Structure 1
């Protein structure tokens, strides 16, 4: 796990270096901010249409081989871009094609890497592993964006793409030496008998099976609802807080930079706290999301930048812990042979949120202003989650045998709870 975390830090730093440089490269080629946004959308779009196939591939293929090959392919794309830049043969069309190819490969690489990291630790430590992964991601993002400017300044744009290619090859070279933990990935631990499953591998590896499983799993549907409404009305702080700081609070770019830094620090602290969760649940995710929404309401009413900074830190911490808990549920709730397809479904849903959220929030700000959007969005999130929890409480507990039959808990969990 230490080797995997080190490799992911290098890879994340390289990825964020390339993303930063890519925006600068598009601006250099076209001089258009709209074209820059288009290049980002082209890279993200495959997740909307291909993620279900990518998740099915992750369930079907050997995980370590899948990660090694996908990382090598991503490295090849980065090296190709670096060569075109060095030869001054890069144009908008080739850049868009390469971005789309990267997006397609990522639909397989993303869930494969996530699940491989979980296989390296015992099942009880998966939430901690996810927290460590979030911490590594945040640190890699900070390092990558900082290195981008230095690399371009001294070595040129192509060097940033080449460095990202090397980072992918580093990950691919580490993969063969990784060892799964006993009992991870659905394998029984030493001395533990194997438990037969009605949905054992081979019973159905189709995309339709994954989508059907997701929709029949109440906890996953509830998690999608919580995350969706939070993503649309509560997570786009780069938009809402930027308008709030530069508008009603009369701050400038420097003030928003300070707010962004506090958000980043809160995200790192939240990842550390999230790593201490032992048994995260959808209820935990909902309560944390509701708490973050109420903090957002208070932040929207902040009379000064100082008050906003005080509120932003706990907002970021709660959001990060909630994300870690939700990711742990998502990656551990399905049986091992279904997890790739579940992550594929999740990636498609998440792409809808990321593409539709900012425009919806922008319209809300046009109507209610930055303060109104933060307050209304926070109240909507808290009310929706509170209503869902209340409805579930009034519905009463589901009989354990019925829950086991419909897939809410496994047979082994039912026996353990009954005991």
Structure 2
């Protein structure tokens, strides 16, 4: 009798009890987080009346990811995963409750907000990779793409719910209630974590000895860096994601200028484009969750296709044509993201995954901070259409050239094995 074919259902990770509970906890947590984020920007504007101050608070919270992520990832490898997640969630809850109390007592000011944002950012450098890897620890390796896809759907659902609840919460209970609700969501996750059990076939977390303060040599940040830079497929993944992030994907900037400029639309028209992008992201997450063992080659082909679609979108003569192209752009981007995340989280040895995610977080922060200004300069030079077309062609051309060079460098027997060999060796 032939072996049963592996399931391609995007929901297959949810057949495991631990993953179901983890998804519920993540939905609650994401809803609380987006409720707070929505209210926080309004709070900063209320305190300062300055949009620049709002941007500063966001930058202060993001900055630790650039400087501390390597140590955060090392700590994730050093400490037991479930304990790390429970403690980090409890700390984030404490920050949220502290903010709620200061707001309720009318003692909040810009300085205290920035300090609390910085503390949140530091804790997040540990919490982010720990939560990502804990979800993977609950399912077999073949179900990791499904777990990542489900996580993306949960994130989108939490964002929609949290944004909607923010206005309702503030209107009925006040601003401090939004922070308190987020604190409760963190405590809910911390209370669920101890009861999570990995499914049969899940990768076991390496045994570690817990000490109050890890010695510097035990953090081994250098070991994670060395593994990353000596792993060609991870370097290639970083290159693909980097060029896609800088020259594309910042659609909140490029498409906003295109819609309100050459296409003569207004805020409502851009809102429609944003909605289509969100729908495409959800559809892409579902399709990405169907992947079994994605490769860097898969990520590259999808990113190149997204670049070509972006270039064609730059030629759109009307809003209707742009909407037709935006949906597949968002779908391809979302599937590519799911595939890339699956490679990133499963390729390194278990003992190094936290550190590799720490390296990745630092790199991603550089792209996030540097991409919009560079894209803005390109738009100043070439306009919105030119930026979309030039960026899309550069993305597709660079990735295509890389794939061709990779194929040429492979030994003849490896090339002869076809698509499967390229997919696993990329």
Detail structure 1 runs of 4+ shifted over 6 Å in the superposition: none
Q: Distance in 2 between matches of 1:380 and 1:11?
A: 38
TM-score (norm 2): 0.89
Work out which of the residue numbers 291, 314, 317 in structure 2 matches 1:300. 314
Stretches of structure 1 that go unaligned for 5 or more consecutive residues are 189-202, 401-407, 415-419
- Output the CA distance in 2 between the equivalents of 1:161 and 1:374: 39
Query: What's the counterpart of residue 288 of structure 2?
Result: 274
Q: Which residue does 1:261 correspond to in 2? A: 275
Displacement, 1:147? 1.0
Question: 1:252 maps to what in 2?
Answer: 266
Of 223, 245, 249, the residue aligned with 1:235 is 249
Which residues of 2 match residues 10-409 of structure 1 at below 5 A?
Answer: 10-186=28-204, 205-397=219-411
Distance 2:361 2:42 in 1: 27
Report how far residue 397 of structure 1 moved. 3.8
Paired with 1:358 and 1:38, the residues of 2 have a C-alpha distance of 15
Q: What is the CA–CA distance in structure 1 between the aligned matches of 2:364 and 2:301, rounded to whole Å?
A: 20
Cα contact 1:42–1:96 (8 A) shared by 2: yes
Q: Is the 8 A contact 1:77 1:102 kept in 2?
A: yes
1:200 maps to which residue?
A: none
Report the 3-state secondary structure (helix = DSSP H, G, I; strand = E; otherwise coil) of the residue aligned with 2:243: helix
Cα 1:395/1:76, change in 2 over 3 Å: same
What is the rounded CA distance, in whole Å, between the counterparts of 2:43 and 2:86 in structure 1?
28
Q: Return the alpha-carbon distance in structure 2 between the equivalents of residues 85 and 204 of structure 1.
A: 40
Q: Name the SS for the 1:235 alignment partner.
A: coil
Give the C-alpha shift of residue 156 in structure 1: 1.2
- 3-state SS of paired residue (2:360): helix
Shift of 1:126: 0.6
1:364, distance to aligned residue in structure 2 (A): 0.5
Pairwise CA RMSD: 1.7
1:183: how far off? Answer: 3.4
> CA contact under 8 A between 2:145 and 2:289: conserved in structure 1?
yes
Q: Provide, for residues 160-216 of structure 1, a one-character-per-residue CA deviation record: whole Å limited to 9, x for no partner.
A: 11110000001001001100123323469xxxxxxxxxxxxxx97500000010000
State the partner residue of 2:210: none
Structure 2 unmatched ranges of 5 or more: 1-18, 207-216, 415-420
Q: How many residues align?
A: 389
Shift of 1:150: 1.3
Distance 2:384 2:178 in 1: 36
Aligned equivalents of 2:172 and 2:277: distance in 1?
30
C-alpha separation in 2, matches of 1:127 and 1:48:
26
Return the alpha-carbon distance in structure 2 between the equivalents of residues 175 and 4 of structure 1.
Answer: 8
- Separation in 2, partners of 1:374, 1:271: 24
TM-score, normalization by structure 1: 0.91
In structure 2, C-alpha distance between the alignment counterparts of 1:398 and 1:73, rounded to whole Å: 54
Aligned-pair CA distance for 1:146: 1.1
Tell me the alpha carbon deviations over residues 341-368 of structure 1, each in whole angstroms, 9 at most, x when there is no partner: 0000000000000000000000111111
Secondary structure of the residue aligned to 1:334 is coil
- Does the Cα contact within 8 Å between 1:12 and 1:144 map onto a contact in 2? yes
Alpha-carbon offset, residue 26 of structure 1: 0.6
Tell me the distance in 2 between the aligned counterparts of 1:52 and 1:186. 23
1:199: which partner in 2? none
C-alpha contact 1:186 1:335 (8 A) present in aligned 2: no
